[in-house]
Amino acid sequence: MKVGSMKTIYVNPEKAPRDWWLVDAKDKTLGRVAAEVAAVLRGKKKPHFVPHQEIGDYVVVINAGKVVVSGNKEQDKMYHFHSRFPGGMKNFSFAALLKRRPEAPLEIAIRGMLPKNRLGRKLFNNVKVYADEKHPHVAQKPRVLEIKE
């Protein structure tokens, strides 16, 4: 190979090894869980990581309704949704959204840490978030992924 020439790494996505991970979010910080899950979804810890391919693993998150935030964010952190109609703005605090849809804050945080393009939308399909301990992915035999506090 000539000096200065580079080759683009391309891993066949069908042949890339993909694992299933189980994350228990009970009493864990929202941002720490979301950052770790997003890194696993992208495959950043794999030796053949390239930013333009979907070679990451699948992640199952349980107990998403029991995730915590620090400080006074329980009442101060706001989520904004708009229906695209005049006057269609809806605002929810973290506590209100957690009560209404327990898995939503974690899903929003994970989606925000993924790329904002069609690859990010494709990667988000590889995460399954559940509010409690029950999940239908036992047959995939997910390994436990520990999140450090």
Decide if 5 is inside a domain. no
- Kindly indicate the confidence band of residue 8, based on its pLDDT and cuts at 50, 70 and 90: confident
Decide if 37 is inside a domain. yes
Decide if 113 is inside a domain. yes
Question: Can you list the alpha helix ranges (DSSP code H) found in the chain?
Answer: 30-42, 73-76, 94-100, 104-112, 118-124
- Report how far residue 27's alpha carbon sits from residue 132's, in angstroms, rounded to the nearest whole number: 13
Helices 104-112 and 30-42, axial angle in degrees (round to 10): 50
Q: CATH number, domain at 39?
A: 3.90.1180.10
By the 8 A CB rule, do 79 and 94 touch? Answer: yes
Range of 67's domain? Answer: 20-71+102-144
Number of structural domains (the chain) is 1
User: Taking the model in full, what pTM does it have?
Assistant: 0.91
pLDDT digit string, tens, across residues 16-65: 889 999 999 999 999 999 999 999 999 999 988 889 899 999 999 999 99
- Report how far residue 61's alpha carbon sits from residue 29's, in angstroms, rounded to the nearest whole number: 13
Decide if 56 is inside a domain. yes
